[in-house]
């Protein structure tokens, strides 16, 4: 009952896909008149709107509905693999006004189940624009619904937590009645207990960044890595990106100066092989983790994970570094979090979310391993936390580890 898609091969450059050039880039989307549709939540709430993006396969698109509060960066959000299994609600009312372009893609495709917006811009205006957002969604084979009261929808999610939902056409060929949409929403399992990493990880290793031998070598686990993260790592290292299932022995055989654990979607406890591999790496090589990588590293050292009511999805979350008291505005995208009290005597919590007290970072005692829940690469969002990449660079560069 979901809107499935066939991602491109893992070795394709995400920045060269899903774009057009020339006259088409400067015009509004010119598809047929919009089709009326409806969004139904598992609690029975109904929202009327108009369908956008790709036609919905098998009539219904369903997934776990979450909201993102970023004011810009919709393309980076849509192409973030961490949204696999979810339908993204944009709380900012006007989406698509600056178009899309190949440079801002964060992955080889779109892994979300759909997008929800209040108002899709009819025309875009930006010197970097190449494709209207509606055309971009079609090239991603991603469906959406516009004209939704996103303020009401967000209030429901905030009150009740992330909730399964389904949307589809309510007129024309393949129209769905509300009973069918309600049934699809009720049947949607959400993201708890489902391995979503396998759907987004690369199938074969590949290299980015500096040429081999031109800088320290880093092995990056791809749990759903964003292109912008690899860009930052590639500024100071030769990065080999490996599948999520890669055993620790295979990583250590590459003799890396450091290991990076990427962001990714879903429930971290559904990838036990990755947790085991990370546990075998701790203490043997410097490690830096972001988002899902932070959660997996924490599980590997014996900590526990909890699911947040509606998660953190946005570009304006205040995070405090506990040791210095410094507050940074951060970009976030996660539904699960590390239980701070479970770190025990093995690790120290280093960062805290000032909105709700959630653990935003930790450092393993007696090992060169640290991680953060937020996204220091931003894309989109503020760049307050970029220094964390510099910390990892110092950690893996000979003669500078003591400064980390």
pTM for this prediction? 0.91
> Do residues 137 and 210 both lie within one domain?
no
In angstroms, the CA 169 to CA 174 distance is 7
What's the pLDDT band for 75 if we cut at 50, 70, 90? very high
142-168 mean pLDDT? 97
> Do residues 32 and 127 both lie within one domain?
yes
Q: Which residues contact 263 (CB under 8 A, 6 or more apart)?
A: 80, 81, 82, 223, 224, 225, 226, 229, 290, 291, 292, 293, 333, 375
* Beta pairing class for 86-90 and 206-209: unpaired
> Do residues 176 and 203 both lie within one domain?
no
> Do residues 218 and 320 both lie within one domain?
yes
Number of domains in the chain: 2
**What are the beta bridge partners of residue 90?**
68
Higher per-residue pLDDT: 16 or 328: 328
284-312 mean pLDDT? 97
**What are the beta bridge partners of residue 305?**
338
Task: Give the per-residue pLDDT at 391.
Answer: 96
Q: Mark whether 313 is an active-site residue.
A: no
> Do residues 55 and 165 both lie within one domain?
yes
> Do residues 172 and 206 both lie within one domain?
no
> Do residues 115 and 221 both lie within one domain?
no
182 is written with which tokens?
């309600």
In angstroms, the CA 173 to CA 110 distance is 26
Give the structural domain span for 223.
197-403
> Do residues 258 and 348 both lie within one domain?
yes
> Do residues 202 and 314 both lie within one domain?
yes
CA distances to 63, 183, 217, 257, 403 from 396, in Å: 40, 52, 9, 5, 11
Q: Mark whether 291 is an active-site residue.
A: yes
Give the least confident one: 6-15, 39-48, 126-135, 326-335. 6-15
Tell me how many degrees the CA angle 149-154-159 measures, rounded to the nearest 5.
135
Given the residues 76, 130, 328, 377, the one annotated as active site: 377
pLDDT, tens only, 118-136: 999 999 999 999 999 999 9
What's the pLDDT band for 173 if we cut at 50, 70, 90? confident
Given the residues 291, 294, 312, 328, the one annotated as active site: 291
214 is written with which tokens?
């031109």
257-269 mean pLDDT? 97
Given the residues 132, 351, 374, 375, the one annotated as active site: 375
- Model confidence at 311: pLDDT above 50: yes
Burial of residue 17, with CB atoms counted within 10 A of its CB: 0-12 exposed, 13-18 middle, 19 or more buried: middle
9-24 mean pLDDT? 39
What's the pLDDT band for 31 if we cut at 50, 70, 90? low
In angstroms, the CA 48 to CA 300 distance is 45
How many whole angstroms from its chain centre is CA 404?
A: 27
Tell me which of 187, 222, 248 is where a domain ends: 187
pLDDT, tens only, 355-395: 999 999 999 999 999 999 999 999 999 999 999 999 999 99
Is residue 10 within 8 A of residue 113, CB to CB? The reply is no
Q: Mark whether 359 is an active-site residue.
A: no
Tell me how many degrees the CA angle 398-400-401 measures, rounded to the nearest 5.
90
């Amino acid at each position: 009952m979901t809107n499935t898609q066939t991602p491109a091969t893992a070795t394709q450059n995400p920045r060269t896909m899903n774009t057009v050039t020339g006259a088409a880039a400067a015009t509004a989307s010119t598809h047929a008149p919009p089709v009326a549709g409806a969004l139904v939540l598992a609690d029975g709430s109904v929202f009327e709107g108009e369908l956008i993006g790709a036609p919905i396969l098998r009539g219904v698109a369903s997934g776990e509905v979450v909201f993102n509060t970023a004011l810009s960066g919709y393309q980076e959000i849509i192409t973030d693999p961490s949204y696999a299994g979810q339908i993204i609600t944009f709380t900012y009312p006007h989406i698509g006004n600056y178009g899309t372009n190949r440079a801002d893609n964060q992955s080889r495709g779109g892994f979300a189940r759909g997008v929800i917006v209040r108002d899709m811009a009819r025309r875009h205006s930006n010197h970097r624009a190449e494709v209207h957002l509606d055309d971009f969604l079609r090239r991603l084979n991603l469906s959406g619904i516009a004209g939704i009261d996103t303020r009401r929808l967000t209030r429901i999610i905030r009150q009740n937590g992330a909730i399964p939902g389904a949307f589809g056409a309510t007129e024309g060929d393949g129209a769905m009645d509300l009973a069918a949409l309600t049934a699809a929403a009720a049947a949607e399992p959400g993201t708890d207990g489902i391995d979503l990493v396998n759907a987004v990880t690369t199938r074969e290793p590949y290299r980015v960044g500096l040429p081999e031998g031109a800088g320290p070598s880093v092995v990056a686990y791809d749990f759903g890595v964003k292109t912008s993260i690899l860009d930052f790592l590639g500024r100071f290292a030769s990065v080999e990106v490996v599948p999520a299932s890669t055993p620790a022995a295979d990583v250590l055989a590459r003799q890396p100066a450091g290991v990076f654990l990427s962001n990714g979607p879903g429930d971290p406890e559904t990838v036990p092989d990755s947790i085991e591999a990370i546990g075998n790496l701790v203490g043997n090589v410097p490690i830096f983790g972001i988002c899902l990588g932070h959660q997996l590293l924490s599980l590997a050292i014996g900590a526990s994970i909890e699911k947040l009511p509606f998660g953190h999805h946005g570009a304006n979350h205040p995070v405090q570094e506990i040791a210095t008291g410094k507050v940074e505005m951060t970009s976030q995208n996660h539904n699960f979090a590390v239980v701070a009290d479970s770190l025990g005597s093995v690790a120290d919590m280093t960062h805290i979310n000032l909105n709700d007290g959630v653990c935003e970072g930790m450092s393993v005692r007696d090992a060169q391993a640290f991680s953060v829940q937020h996204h220091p690469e931003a894309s989109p969002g503020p760049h307050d936390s970029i220094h964390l990449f510099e910390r990892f660079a110092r950690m893996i560069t000979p003669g500078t580890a003591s400064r980390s």
